[in-house]
Structure 1
Amino acid sequence: MRNWQDILKSTNAELLAWAGQTSWAGAMRECQQDAEWHAEGDVWTHTTMVWHQVELLDDYASLGRIEQLKLLFTALLHDAGKPATTARDPESGRLRSPRHSIVGAALARQVLRELGCPLPLREEIVHLVRYHGRPPYLLERSAPEHEVIRLSWLLQNRLLYLFALADTRGRDTREMSRPEETLHLWQDLAREHHCLNVPYFFANDQARFLFYRQAEGNLHYTPHEQYRCTVTMMCGLPGAGKDTWLAKHQPRLPVVSLDAIREDLDVDATDNQGTVIQEARERCRQHLRAGEDFAFNATNVTMSLRKRWIDLFADYSARIELVHIEPPLATVLRQNAKRPDPVPSSVIHKLAAKMEVPDITECHGITFEEGD
């Protein structure tokens, strides 16, 4: 399979055969699992069992091809993070794979990016991989309804439920530790809160924003949307086209740019960035205190980095709009090379590998631009 168009034209058998020849499938073949949970053996054996259970789901035939592919790629990649995370627990002696869903989600993003999968579709599959293990443990949550509501803005709860069924059935367990009744509860709760097939309805963008910023968000609070200003927060690799997007879509908007501040302060990108960040925060505060709309332009490749700035903007009651620019990596490298002070290509590859694409749970609104 060379690209996403090939994927769309392929049969399930062709797709599984292609996947079986990849390096990540090879790594799963060599990764054994805990026998109590997975008596069937290695990770790839489990993966193929889950794949076939997806095809056997009662609802599978009624799904559109894109929805089928979401489930099939989730099956292929849901445990792809296990080879990098599996180790024997020194106390129990059992094999464990902590955080494998996080590692698997990053690998899924890389695989799907290389195939040219459309960005919104790719990210839903990534989220299905990231959260595939949540439904069986719903009753352990202090507020189970919040769990299905939180995920409804990242993925379709119906697909997560269907995949959880296939994942439970696609294994040979010595312990009956994943009763399907709990999975049915996930579906029932999502249906009860009207977010089985669509995102949960919040009264307004601010209500949703506050819900995701609180450990136990208030579902019944309707805040006034009285923003002091709007911050347009750019996200993307160096050379992705963030400046070009701002010039085209927000030409009159003041911009706080880390690159521009580095140039003003004569600080190299490889130097300590403390003074740059301090100056950027002060420039942002000037706009925030004045209630002026502005853009904040930086790579902002990880959620933790974005959160530091979002916290600042939220403290001043700003509306936060994220804009993620992601053309193909070859385009990024070509555009970066044309810059007066290009970033080393090795750095761009490293940033691409750690990229955590922003999502709607971080902000009031979001825009995705894929480019050419």
Structure 2
Amino acid sequence: MRNWQDILKSTNAELLAWAGQTSWAHDMRSCQQDSEWHAEGDVWTHTTMVWHQVEMLDEYADLDRLSQLKLLFTALLHDAGKPATTARDPESGRLRSPKHSIVGASLARQVLREVGCPLELREEIAHLVRYHGRPPYLLEKSAPEHEVIRLSCLLRNRLLYLFALADTRGRDTREMSRPEEALHLWQDLATELHCLDAPYDFANGQARFLFLRQAGGNLHYIPHEDYRCAVTMMCGLPGAGKDTWLAKYRPTLPVVALDAIREDLDVDATDNQGHVIQEARERCRQHLRAGADFAFNATNVTTSVRKKWIDLFADYGARIEIVHIEPTLTTVLRQNAKRPDPVPSSVIHKLAAKMEVPDITECHGITFVEGS
């Protein structure tokens, strides 16, 4: 498959044949699983079993083609992180694959990016891969409603439930560890909360923001949307076009930019950034104290880095919009090379490998910008 258009025109058999020839499928064939959970053997065998179980779901034929592809790609990639994470537990002697869904979600983004899958569609599939194992353990959560509502903001709960059914059926187990009754609870709760096929309908954006920031957030609290100011938080690699976007869509906003502060302080990007961050936080506070809208422009590639800034903005009662800009890496490298002070390409590649794409659970609003 050369691109996403080829995938849209392909049959299921053609798509599975293509996937079977990839390097990540080869890695899965070489990765054995714990026999108590997966008596069928290697990861690719389980993957193909799940694929066929997806096709056999009663609801599959009634889904639109994009929804079918979401399930099929989730089947292909849900355990793709196991080869990198599988090891034998020294105490029990059993094979374990801790955090394989996190690694798999990252690989899913890479695979889908390479075939040109649209960004928002790619992210929903990556979230399905990341959270595919959640439904069987709903009752183990201290706040099951919070779990179902949060994931409704990232993916379609109906698809997550359907995939969990296929994943449970697509294996040979020596002990029945995943009864389907547990999966039905996910569907039932999502239905009860009216978020089986759409994100949960919060009273307003601030209610969603506060609820998702707290594990035990109060679902019935309806805050006023009385923001002191609005912060536009840019996210993207050096050379992605963040300055260009701001100039076009937010031309009147004052901008707190880490690159500009480095230049003001004569600090190189490879030097200690402590003084740069301190100065940036103070400049942000000046706008926040004044209740003035502004933009914060930095790479902001990881969730943990973004959270520190978002916490600051939220403490002052700001509305936070994240703008994530993601052209192809080739475009980023080309645009970066044209800058007066280009970032070394090796640094860009490292940042690209670390990139954690933002999502709506972090902020009040999010805008995705794709490029060629």
Residues 1:187 and 2:187 are matched in the alignment: yes
AA at the equivalent of 2:203: A
Q: Is the 8 A contact 2:146 2:215 kept in 1?
A: no
Aligned partner of residue 256 in structure 2, secondary structure: strand
Whole-Å separation in 1 of the counterparts to 2:203 and 2:311: 22
Determine the structure 2 residue equivalent to 1:204. 204
Deviations 1:115-158 (A, max 9, x none): 11000000000000000000000110112122111100000000
- TM-score, normalisation: structure 1: 0.99
Determine the structure 1 residue equivalent to 2:276. 276
Q: Is the 8 A contact 1:110 1:353 kept in 2?
A: no
AA at the equivalent of 2:157: N
Aligned length: 372
AA at the equivalent of 1:267: V
Residues 1:92 and 2:92 are matched in the alignment: yes
**Where in structure 1 are there 5+ consecutive unaligned residues?**
none
Determine the structure 1 residue equivalent to 2:216. 216
Cα drift, residue 215 of structure 1: 1.4
Aligned counterparts, 1:20-59, within 5 A: 20-59=20-59
Cα drift, residue 40 of structure 1: 0.3
Runs of 4+ deviating beyond 3 Å: none
- TM-score, normalisation: structure 2: 0.99
Determine the structure 1 residue equivalent to 2:102. 102
AA at the equivalent of 1:240: A
Residues 1:256 and 2:262 are matched in the alignment: no
Determine the structure 2 residue equivalent to 1:335. 335
Whole-Å separation in 2 of the counterparts to 1:303 and 1:97: 23
AA at the equivalent of 1:258: L
AA at the equivalent of 1:310: I
Q: Is the 8 A contact 1:106 1:126 kept in 2?
A: yes
Whole-Å separation in 2 of the counterparts to 1:109 and 1:222: 35
- Return 240-249 or 136-145, whichever deviates more: 136-145
Aligned counterparts, 1:157-172, within 5 A: 157-172=157-172
Determine the structure 1 residue equivalent to 2:347. 347
Q: Is the 8 A contact 1:49 1:171 kept in 2?
A: yes
Determine the structure 1 residue equivalent to 2:231. 231
Whole-Å separation in 1 of the counterparts to 2:34 and 2:181: 24
Provide the aligned C-alpha RMSD in A: 0.6
Whole-Å separation in 2 of the counterparts to 1:326 and 1:352: 10
AA at the equivalent of 2:167: D
Cα drift, residue 371 of structure 1: 2.0
Determine the structure 2 residue equivalent to 1:113. 113
Determine the structure 1 residue equivalent to 2:177. 177
AA at the equivalent of 1:15: L
Determine the structure 2 residue equivalent to 1:70. 70
Determine the structure 2 residue equivalent to 1:13. 13
Determine the structure 2 residue equivalent to 1:129. 129
Whole-Å separation in 1 of the counterparts to 2:13 and 2:337: 41
Q: Is the 8 A contact 1:81 1:102 kept in 2?
A: yes
Determine the structure 2 residue equivalent to 1:299. 299
Cα drift, residue 205 of structure 1: 0.2
AA at the equivalent of 1:70: K
